Structure 1
Amino acid sequence: MKQTNVKPAEGKLGILVVGCGAVATTFMTGVFMARKGLAKPVGSMTQYDKIRVGKGADKKYLHYKDIVPLADLNDIVFGTWDVYPQNAYQAAMYAEVLKEKDINPVREELEKVVPMKAAFDKNYAKRLDGDNVKDCKTRWEMVEALRKDIRDFKEQNGCARIVVIWAASTEIYVPVDMEKHGTVAALEAAMKADDREHVAPSMCYAYAALTEGAPFIMGAPNTTVDIPAMWELAEQTKMPIAGKDFKTGQT
C-alpha cells in the first residue's frame, strides 16, 4: 500500500455552507458554543469520540483529532450563500431548532456570518422565493461567480484551506445523462450552453469548489456528485467529494 503523507492542519479553515437555514445555523452555533466552553461537542466524532489504538498492553484510547491532523475549532471561519439576506443569528432564531438561550451567548459570532448572494434557479427549489440571488445569465456565469466568492472569502479571511458543504434545500431530481454528465468536458459545454435542464445549481457549486481546490460535501439527495463528470473532476483536482442524504428535503 502506498504511504500517504498527510500535511498538518495549519492555518484557518474556511467552511462555506450553501444555505443558511436550520442545518447550517445549528452547526455554526454548536461550534461557536463549544469553542467558548459553553457546550460540549456531543455528536462530533472528531471532537468528542475516542478510538482504540494498539492492542493488549499497548492499547490506548485517543480522540480522532489526536491521531490525524484536524483543524482546531478555533481555526474555523464560517461563510455561507443563501437566497435570503438574513445573517446567521436571524436565521437561527427563525428556524427555532435551538432555544433562544442557546443562541444568544454566541449572537455576536452568528451576526457576523452574512450570506453571500446565492447561485439560484427557482425551478429547482420552487418553495424558495428570496431576492439575495446572483444575476447570472448562464450556468457558466454561476460557476465563475462562485469561484470568485471562494477566492475572495479565502483571501479576506486569511484561510489556508476551504471546504464547501451543501446544506440547502433538496433540488428537483436530475437524471444522469451521459451526453451531458459523462465527462468534465461535456459538463463544461452544457454549462456554457446554459443547459438548465441538465445542470443544476448545485453542480455549479461543486464544480466551483473543486476547481478552487476545495472539497465538496453534498448534504442532500441531489445527483450532484453522482455523475461521472464530477468523479473525473475530483480525480483531476485531487479534491474529495462526499455525501448523500436520502431523507426527503424541502423543494
Structure 2
Amino acid sequence: MPMQTSLKPVVESPNVRYSEETIEADYEYENTRCSKDENGVLKVFPMKTLITFRTQRKVPKLGLMLVGWGGNNGSTVTGAIIANKHQMSWNTKEGVVKANYFGSITQASTVLIGKDYDGKDVYIPMKELLPMVNPNDIILDGWDISGLNLAQAMERARVLDYNLQEKLRPYMEKMKPRAAIYDPDFIAANQDERADNVLQTKDKWEQVTQVRKDIRDFKAK
C-alpha cells in the first residue's frame, strides 16, 4: 500500500535552503537554441538556466472581493467556506453530511513525492507541499446589484440543502454586498428587477473612483 502522510516535508538538498522567513529552491531549467550556420547546417545548442524560487513561510492574510457576491456562485462559495470553517454537519435524505473540500485540487488531492526505503510510493496532501492559505481563513466581501443579504441570496439561489441553509443563516445574514455598477449592456435582462443596490454616479470615472475606494476600505479591515 502507498504511504500517505500529513507531515510537512523537509527537503534535504544543497539546492534547497530554509530560513525562518523563506524557503529557497534552485532549479536548473534545460532548453535548446537552434540556428543555421553559413552552410545551412542546423545546429542545436543545449542551454541551462538557473532559476531560484523563494517562498515566504508566513502565510499572508487573504481577502477576496467578488463581483456578483449575492449571486448563485457567490452565495454558494461563501456558504461552503463558512460551513467548513465551523465544521458543520446537516441532515439530508441520504443521511448526515459533513462539510468538506472534496473537489478542491489544493485541499483534497495528494502528490507523489517519491518512494520510501521499502520501495513504496509516498504521497502527501498538496496543501502541505508549501505554505499556502487555508480557504477557511479567506475574508470575503464584494458587490452586487441586489441588496439582499447573503442569507437571502443563498435562499434565492436554491443550491445548498435547506438544513445547511438554516445553520448558515446566522452568519450570512450579517453579510451584505456593496452597491455595484449597473450597466444593462453587460447584465441579463431578467436581472433588471433585482437591481436595487446600484451605484448612483454621474459617469464611469466616478464609478471607478468608488470601486477603488471600496477596495481600499476592504484592504484596511
Quickly name the TM-score band, shorter chain normalised: 0.5 to 0.7
Q: Which amino acid aligns with 2:214?
A: D
Distance 2:58 2:209 in 1: 28
Confirm or deny: 8 A CA contact 2:84 2:136 kept in the other structure. Answer: no
Confirm or deny: 8 A CA contact 1:81 1:117 kept in the other structure. Answer: yes
Distance 1:92 1:111 in 2: 10
* Correspondence list, 1:113-132, <5 A: 113-125=175-187, 126-129=189-192, 130-132=195-197
- Which of 68, 71, 78 lines up with 1:21 in the alignment? 71
Distance 1:8 1:75 in 2: 16
- Which of 184, 196, 201 lines up with 1:136 in the alignment? 201
Q: Which amino acid aligns with 1:121?
A: D
Partner of 2:114: 54
Greater share of residues in strand: 2
- CA shift, 1:138, in A, is 2.9
Structure 1 unmatched ranges of 5 or more: 157-251
Distance 1:8 1:134 in 2: 40
Partner of 1:96: 158
Distance 1:95 1:115 in 2: 15
Distance 1:112 1:11 in 2: 25
Larger Rg: 2
- CA shift, 1:23, in A, is 0.9
Confirm or deny: 8 A CA contact 1:119 1:142 kept in the other structure. Answer: yes
Seen in structure 2, the aligned counterparts of structure 1 residues 87 and 9 have a Cα distance that, compared at 3 Å, is: farther
Q: Does 1:80 align with 2:145?
A: no
Distance 2:100 2:136 in 1: 14
Distance 2:171 2:52 in 1: 40
Partner of 1:3: 52
Confirm or deny: 8 A CA contact 1:25 1:92 kept in the other structure. Answer: yes
Amino-acid identity (%): 32
Structure 2 unmatched ranges of 5 or more: 1-28, 30-50, 89-98
Q: Which amino acid aligns with 2:76?
A: T
- CA shift, 1:127, in A, is 2.6
Q: Give the secondary structure class of the aligned counterpart of 2:196.
A: coil
Distance 1:6 1:144 in 2: 34
- CA shift, 1:150, in A, is 0.9
Show CA shifts across 1:81-134 (max 9, x none).
Answer: 000111111100011111210112122221222100112212221332202111
Distance 1:7 1:148 in 2: 29
Greater share of residues in helix: 1
- CA shift, 1:9, in A, is 5.3
Partner of 1:43: 103
Which runs of 4 or more aligned residues in structure 1 lie more than 4 Å from their structure 2 counterparts after TM superposition? none
Confirm or deny: 8 A CA contact 1:47 1:63 kept in the other structure. Answer: yes
Q: Does 1:63 align with 2:130?
A: no
Q: TM-score, normalised by structure 2?
A: 0.64
Q: Give the secondary structure class of the aligned counterpart of 1:104.
A: helix
Confirm or deny: 8 A CA contact 1:13 1:75 kept in the other structure. Answer: yes
Q: Does 1:151 align with 2:213?
A: no
Confirm or deny: 8 A CA contact 2:149 2:176 kept in the other structure. Answer: yes
Distance 1:112 1:146 in 2: 21
Confirm or deny: 8 A CA contact 2:141 2:177 kept in the other structure. Answer: yes
Partner of 1:210: none
Distance 1:49 1:84 in 2: 36
